[in-house]
Structure 1
Amino acid sequence: MQFQAASGSRAFGAARASRRAAVTVRADKCLIVNTKGGGHAFIGYHLAKQLAAKGHDVTIFNDGDQAKLSAKAPFNQYPTLKGVKVAWGNPTDYSTFPEGPFDVVYDNNGKDLDSCKPLIDAAKGMVKHYVFVSSAGAYKADSIEPMHVEGDERKASAGHVAVENYLKEEGLPYTVFQPLYIYGPHTAKDCEQWFVDRVIRDRPVPIPVPGVQLVTLTHVEDVASMLAAVPGNKAAVGQHYNVCSDRAVTFQGIVKAVGKALGKEPKVVLYSPEEIGTGKSGKAEGFPFRTVHFFASSEKAKRELGWRPAHDFMGDVDALVKEYKASGRAAKEIDFSVDDKILKAVA
């Protein structure tokens, strides 16, 4: 399975010939290039599921070693995807690329130009739509107007931004999606689990001051449904969209919601990471989120893509806690050494 420089051009080029032969195409051939770890890793599985349900022909091309990853979530769910083809390889190595043609390419893997350029170059001039899953973390933090909207200033030094600029410079029919914090089944990175770990064990929950920082937590199915709105949608070309719920919650609000779902009264301990030496520049050792506001508007996606979230975190908390218990994690040993260091420092 190849589409390296020459064979890559041949594979994507075949898409042009097929479009000339059939002007009306109800379904697209979609390639999802998926990352091997981190908070975006489960997007590929959920996106493939939704695209296939819409009648698209879907291939997942996953970065990494199949033997090492296929027993772990979310990759252990791939066999449940009916009709979806799965390939493993290296998105920077043309020789491992699956054979096309593909009409829509989703890059849910690269974070900088070095990791994205080979795929972009192979797709150049040959695909209907190139979708880059970027990050709202590339926005510059704003303490005056903290809610991010599309068009806000972004960090010139961010690797994601360099990729976005390259897509524009090379003239690809691109769309950029900017997710925030994501929760839901088969995640490879903690979100609400960090809070449940502590509340379920009746441990104090250390939260960076002031504790009322607002965040948007978005269900992965809502993330996937927004991305799945792209095939056939020419209006999305050249656009950026925030991928997030239309609700925001505070750090302390997450703790209280988890406590209510568990029937407990959790204790929150507020602390300054900078003062006790466990953090700087908006980050705190051991804490799963930034220490500043991190929320955004999804109104553009609602307006232009006809998208609506089907979930909200507060409505999902009971189910999330049940999933946590069912996973057996409550019986596992968790490393609370950073918590203990914080609690000792503020005692």
Structure 2
Amino acid sequence: MLQKCSRSVPQGRLITNSSRRLTVQVRADNALIVNAKSGGHAFIGYYLAKALKAKGHSVTILNDGEQAKASKKTPFSKYGDLTKEGVIIAWGNPADPATYPRGKFDIVYDNNGKDMEACKPLIDTFKGKVSHYVFVSSAGAYKADSVEPMHVEGDSRKASAGHVEVEAYLKAQGLPYTVFQPLYIYGPLTAKDCEQWFVDRIVRDRPVPIPTPGVQLTTLTHVEDVASMMALVPGNKKAIGQHYNVCSDRAITFQGIAKAVAKALGKEAKIVLYSPEALGLGKSGKAEGFPFRTVHFFASSEKAKRELGWSPRHNFLDDASTLVADYLLLGRLEKEVDFSIDDKILSSV
């Protein structure tokens, strides 16, 4: 097992300290995280950097976008915390190799690109130069399956998805790649507001409109658990050529999310079930104004547990109270929320 050592270690090398009773192997890679400038993936890079540093790796972040503009928002406004830990922050354009930070890297995490246009320059630049290339894809590329809805690695995926084309290119180019496929993520600094959508309504004593039947299963995964899984890759040759679902090992229903949030607030959830299709507010597994797919969308994390030795530290039910406390601490109760779609639903049901 690789353990963190407090002393300096040459990048990308193993050091063995031998005695009669103990042998400790330490690996310190030089990692480059290419981070998105917005959206659901941006916060993954922040937590991944912290997780890699905790394991003794050197970390550089190449962030897409303009520093002055992005730094006003989280997680970028928190980058000062990373620089204090020794993380190097660079700003540039992942599609333009001229803006890449200089230096030799052992492992690259592409946590930015979603299609060939965004990803190809990075892949071509580091082909043959790194021992490991990690692509953060999406479980959204899986085809929905109403017979066996829990996705496992190897299930059918959408050929039209940009992520899938990138993965095929990585394989064709012979890179030592690993693909991670996240689902819905929650936790501090996260941007999708999936769980906060429920808090918005319950904290204000408003009804919670949920697409029928309301017991669709999904997974909500804490961002620290996402980062801890991805940080297990450096030095792990068994992960090369593999896909891993990045998700909690527990599923929850839409009504379950509402009830967990209500319990944390000391309130009762007023759940109203409706059909998005009947009201002209949705189709193909989506509903206008609702933060989740309206079909089952959950996956198995058993492969990561088995092959990477990963295990989650969080589950949503235990974290609900903290999530609600953070919501109130950030002053979100005082902010205006657009409930016009809710009102349209409620007036028609």
- TM norm structure 2: 0.92
Deviation, 1:94, is 1.1
Looking at structure 1, the residues matched to 192 and 270 of structure 2 have their Cα atoms a distance apart, in angstroms, of 24
Aligned to 2:4: none
Q: Does 1:36 align with 2:16?
A: no
Looking at structure 2, the residues matched to 234 and 206 of structure 1 have their Cα atoms a distance apart, in angstroms, of 47
Looking at structure 1, the residues matched to 130 and 106 of structure 2 have their Cα atoms a distance apart, in angstroms, of 5
* Superimposed CA distance per residue, residues 177-227 of structure 1 (whole angstroms, 9 cap, x where no aligned partner): 000000000112212110000000000001011100000000000000000
* Superimposed CA distance per residue, residues 109-144 of structure 1 (whole angstroms, 9 cap, x where no aligned partner): 000111000000001011010000000000000000
Looking at structure 2, the residues matched to 288 and 39 of structure 1 have their Cα atoms a distance apart, in angstroms, of 12
CA contact (8 A) 2:95 2:118 kept: yes
Residue type of the partner of 2:323? Answer: L
* Superimposed CA distance per residue, residues 54-99 of structure 1 (whole angstroms, 9 cap, x where no aligned partner): 1100001111111111011111111001100001111001111111
Counterpart mapping for 1:13-28 below 5 A: 26-28=27-29
Aligned to 1:329: 332
Looking at structure 1, the residues matched to 162 and 31 of structure 2 have their Cα atoms a distance apart, in angstroms, of 25
Aligned to 1:68: 69
* Superimposed CA distance per residue, residues 307-330 of structure 1 (whole angstroms, 9 cap, x where no aligned partner): 000000011001111111101001
Alpha-carbon RMSD: 1.1
Looking at structure 1, the residues matched to 131 and 218 of structure 2 have their Cα atoms a distance apart, in angstroms, of 34
**Among residues 255, 259, 263, which one is paired with 1:260 in the alignment?**
263
Q: Does 1:120 align with 2:127?
A: no
| SS of equivalent residue, structure 1 residue 42 | helix
Looking at structure 2, the residues matched to 280 and 88 of structure 1 have their Cα atoms a distance apart, in angstroms, of 39
Deviation, 1:334, is 0.6
| SS of equivalent residue, structure 1 residue 187 | coil
* Seq. identity, %: 75
| SS of equivalent residue, structure 1 residue 47 | helix
Aligned to 1:45: 46
Residue type of the partner of 1:53? Answer: A
CA contact (8 A) 2:14 2:27 kept: no
* Higher relative contact order (CA closer than 8 Å, sequence separation 6+): 1
Q: Does 1:293 align with 2:325?
A: no
Aligned to 1:12: none
Q: Does 1:190 align with 2:193?
A: yes
Aligned to 2:160: 157
Looking at structure 2, the residues matched to 67 and 213 of structure 1 have their Cα atoms a distance apart, in angstroms, of 41
Deviation, 1:26, is 2.1
Q: Which moved more, 1:188-197 or 1:296-305?
A: 188-197
| SS of equivalent residue, structure 1 residue 288 | coil
Q: Does 1:313 align with 2:316?
A: yes
Q: Does 1:56 align with 2:57?
A: yes
Looking at structure 2, the residues matched to 100 and 194 of structure 1 have their Cα atoms a distance apart, in angstroms, of 43
Residue type of the partner of 2:265? Answer: L
Aligned to 1:206: 209
Number of residue equivalences: 327
- TM norm structure 1: 0.93
| SS of equivalent residue, structure 2 residue 258 | helix
Runs of 4+ in 1 over 4 A off after TM superposition: 22-25
Looking at structure 2, the residues matched to 326 and 136 of structure 1 have their Cα atoms a distance apart, in angstroms, of 32
Looking at structure 2, the residues matched to 205 and 100 of structure 1 have their Cα atoms a distance apart, in angstroms, of 51
Deviation, 1:23, is 7.0
Looking at structure 1, the residues matched to 195 and 76 of structure 2 have their Cα atoms a distance apart, in angstroms, of 20
Looking at structure 2, the residues matched to 277 and 68 of structure 1 have their Cα atoms a distance apart, in angstroms, of 38
| SS of equivalent residue, structure 2 residue 28 | coil
Looking at structure 2, the residues matched to 111 and 52 of structure 1 have their Cα atoms a distance apart, in angstroms, of 26
| SS of equivalent residue, structure 2 residue 27 | coil
Looking at structure 1, the residues matched to 220 and 269 of structure 2 have their Cα atoms a distance apart, in angstroms, of 20
Aligned to 1:342: 345
Looking at structure 1, the residues matched to 201 and 295 of structure 2 have their Cα atoms a distance apart, in angstroms, of 21
CA contact (8 A) 2:180 2:246 kept: yes
Aligned to 1:240: 243
Looking at structure 1, the residues matched to 280 and 93 of structure 2 have their Cα atoms a distance apart, in angstroms, of 39
Structure with the larger helix share = 1
Looking at structure 1, the residues matched to 116 and 92 of structure 2 have their Cα atoms a distance apart, in angstroms, of 18
Deviation, 1:100, is 2.0
Aligned to 2:23: none
**Among residues 125, 129, 134, which one is paired with 1:131 in the alignment?**
134
